[in-house]
Chain A
Amino acid sequence: MMDPRILDRFRAIVGSDGLLTEPEQLRTYECDGLTNFRVLPSAVVLPTTTEQVQATVRVCHEAHIPFVARGSGTGLSGGALPIEHGIVISLARMVRILEVDIPNARVVVEPGVLNLSVTEAVAPAYFYAPDPSSQQVCSIGGNVAENSGGAHCLKYGFTTTHVLGLEVVLPDGSLVHLGGTTLDRPGYDLCGVFVGSEGTLGIATKVILRVVRRPALIQTLLAAFNSTNEAGAAVSGIIAAGVLPAAIEMMDNLAIQAAEAAVHANYPDCGGLLLVELDGPAAEVAALMTQVRAMCTSCGAWEIRVAQSEEERAAVWKGRKAAFAAMGRISPNYIVQDGVIPRTALPEVMSEIERLSREAGLRVANVFHAGDGNLHPLVLYDVRIAGQERRAERLAFSILELCVKAGGSITGEHGVGEEKKAFMPVMFAEPDLDTMQRVRCAFDPERLSNPTKVFPRPRLCAEKPGPYQPHPLEAAGIAQLF
């Protein structure tokens, strides 16, 4: 139970309707999209302005209360999982689009603005490129925290590629501006450091985004193969030929079955399905599509369709974007993983996943961003069967180990959060993690901002990091050295 005097202070900042304290209200915030971790926060504060965020954070700073910023709560790694005895600061009421500057392809938004709303604000000529599958409901603030990806980041880059500047409330309540509307602002690229820091460095209250001109032509090819290995060979061939598609997605048979059951995507029933999207000037797309088609055929594709119209494309993508949720149709429970491997390791990693799956006696469906080696193995299980959940967790983690061993990463776009922090040492040595935490100490020396996430062990920051001391031994005439 939180000190009522503290709650009064929060209430004075955001008003009664901006503060939630009743257990049944708090229940909504006890987890994010990763529902197997749950913690009830002491309170939820819903500010509507930067000043309110600052004032709230100042109270936390003074009273030493940890806080977790939360957008739409769709994260898949427990990044927005509350901290015990801490508060959640929900940015869901900061939803203004502050500026749309089409000639410069810039948009300035508050963090609660939904990903898809940015595209809607600049359509039809422009779009916001990062497109996580949850784009209809996830917020830009959450995307910034997680450095969200999506199918089209193969060509267009990730959230970090499209965030030019940030207004950030630091964990002591002070306000800083990182980056800006123009490129290359003098100073350290702390905007680049902040994006993907999973809420551990402060709270973004304003985000300057770059939007992208919609290409003249977009075509999506769907190709059916007998196996994911054949489909994978086609991917390698396409990339080796110097073609950079906007997206390359792959699904295995189990994932196809689930997508069919859920949204009737009308996919061919095959062992490995490939979606390849090309975009650009019409003549360029036409020339490259011929190459892609030939490559698929030579790798064993027995059915190829090319979606031309916007409706046909939407239909093709529908099954892919619904793939995670679709698992509910074929399994009562599932764990989504987010490993990355060098693309060339796909065949061996796939056969190893198959072996692990057999050993564990659990089914694994596979959905990949095949172009960049980002795997989303979905481990299917039934929580009602004793021991299955644990087996599923173990299997999911073995798959991650496999990814790291292959030279990859434990997370491509979902973040480390609560779920994978214990796995960070598999990927990074102690000095690597320690160096990252030194950066953290510069932002959040008191460890108040989402303090228990990302890192397996906290680093103790000096009580007060001293101000920068100019080197005492100043010498004249140094420039001559050059």
Chain B
Amino acid sequence: MDDVATLLRDASRDGQAVIPSGGGTKLDWGRPPRRADLVLSTARLDRVLEHAWADMTATVEAGCTVARLQHSLAEHGQRLACDPLWPERATIGGILATNDNGTLRARFGGLRDLIIGVTLVLADGTVAKSGGKVVKNVAGYDLPKLATGSFGTLAMITQAVFRLHPLPHETRTLTFAATRLEPLCELALAIQGSQLAFVSLQVRADGAAEPALDVRFEGTRAGLDSQQDELLRLAANLTRVDPPAAVWRIREELWQGTEPAVTGTFSVLPTELQALCAQLDEVGTAPALGWRVVAQGVGVGHFRLEGATSDALVAALQRLRAAAERRGGTLVVLVGPEDLKARLDVWGSPGDALPLFQRVKQQLDPQGTLSPGRFVGGL
């Protein structure tokens, strides 16, 4: 940690730009930084410092991979209740910086709800802690939340403390297919409006194969059986099929395929999910683009668009973003060709809070040392 502080202070003094990096799985998300002189890797900050299993908390260094943390927590039957992308390579610091929430969010909340403490190193070398080691704590500002999703532009995350959850007794996934997406989106809403205690809920579609809906439950055998019965009643007019392999990691496939392509994320209200997917189908049909989507019931989805040219992709993205924004939602391009990212604001409108974002950045990183230009509005 002292090394990080010294490095950052020196870089800041010398006017260099520093890019914090974990497993490097999401370094290409967002805008390319305006400048990058030094990549500061957390690879050697990889220890699980404490697993207070009886208190259900863990303190971990930023460079520890998600899989390694989970493996270590499982020794006492616990877990960080979150299933981000590429857990074997993605690090704790990386998933926090990019706010990469998985499907378990439906039940356990996002990373912002799981992180209870953080150690940050600011660009000037200040080492600051916020939060603590207890789940319930309102002393001081909630900087763990500020760091979560800040894309390495405010501070280097070196340690995090999380609240943990028990590993489930048993898990069960049910998958339903239909010829159209509509009844599946309706089922997704019905499930969310029911008293079923699901932990994950996603719909999948790609314009070619039959769309599907996956729902996952955790609990005791008796509890799972009765929930399954109730779900089957709700889904009486749909076909139950076997879930595909690694169904809850299937969104990782959206980063593979033919190029040029973009992979992005959108967020809309749960009731608007169907309309947004319909829009995706529409922009994907004329001109012919390949499209795939994996969207969670809460309204957050990942999509991939593949096309012949960047022009076609830009046009499609603009229409899609307009559709999301019309519904009060947002659309962000995560990965795409360089020229596309130069022509399209990958983040979309930051709204009226941008000046405040800028003042926060100015206070914590006045020299613009950390990942300059990578985030919303050129932050």
Contact = CB atoms under 8 A, between A and B. Distances in A.
Contact of B142 (A160, A187, A416, A465): A160
Contacts, number: 311
B15 interface: yes
A47 interface: no
Contacts of A413: 136, 138
Contact of A439 (B139, B143, B330, B354): B143
B56 A239 contact: yes
B33 interface: yes
Contacts of A412: 134, 136-138
Contacts of B58: none
B109 A157 contact: yes
A180 B351 CA distance: 11
Interface in A334-351: 340-344
A454 B130 CA distance: 14
Contact of B193 (A103, A195, A408, A468): A103
Interface in A422-441: 424, 427-429, 431-436, 438-441
A307 to B, nearest CB: 20
Interface in B109-166: 109-110, 112-113, 120, 122, 126-130, 132-143, 145-146, 148-150, 154, 165-166
Given A186-B330, A435-B143, A481 B39 contact: yes
B10 interface: no
Given A182-B330, A244-B166, A442 B372 contact: no
Nearest to A475: B35
A243 B55 CA distance: 13
Nearest to B169: A242
Contacts of B77: 242
Interface residues of B, number: 108
Is chain A's binding surface mostly helix, strand, loop or mixed?
loop
Contacts of A184: 99, 101, 110, 149, 265, 267, 300, 330
A193 B195 contact: no
Contacts of A478: 32-36
B132 A409 contact: yes
Nearest to B105: A183
Contact of A183 (B52, B300, B350, B352): B300
B332 A189 contact: no
A479 B15 CA distance: 19
Contact of A283 (B32, B222, B299): B222
Given A184-B101, A188-B357, 18 more contacts: A103-B270, A177-B353, A184-B110, A186-B347, A187-B353, A189-B148, A216-B195, A281-B223, A284-B197, A408-B134, A409-B137, A414-B138, A431-B128, A434-B126, A436-B143, A465-B362, A470-B34, A478-B34
27 contacts: A149-B136, A170-B356, A181-B328, A182-B268, A183-B267, A186-B330, A186-B348, A186-B375, A187-B377, A188-B150, A192-B142, A213-B195, A284-B222, A284-B223, A340-B136, A369-B136, A372-B135, A373-B135, A409-B137, A413-B136, A431-B126, A435-B126, A436-B128, A439-B146, A468-B362, A470-B378, A471-B17
Interface of B: 15, 17, 19, 27-28, 32-36, 39, 52, 54-57, 77, 99, 101, 109-110, 112-113, 120, 122, 126-130, 132-143, 145-146, 148-150, 154, 165-169, 189, 192-197, 219-220, 222-223, 225-227, 230, 265, 267-271, 298-300, 328-330, 332, 338, 347-348, 350-364, 367-368, 372-373, 375-379
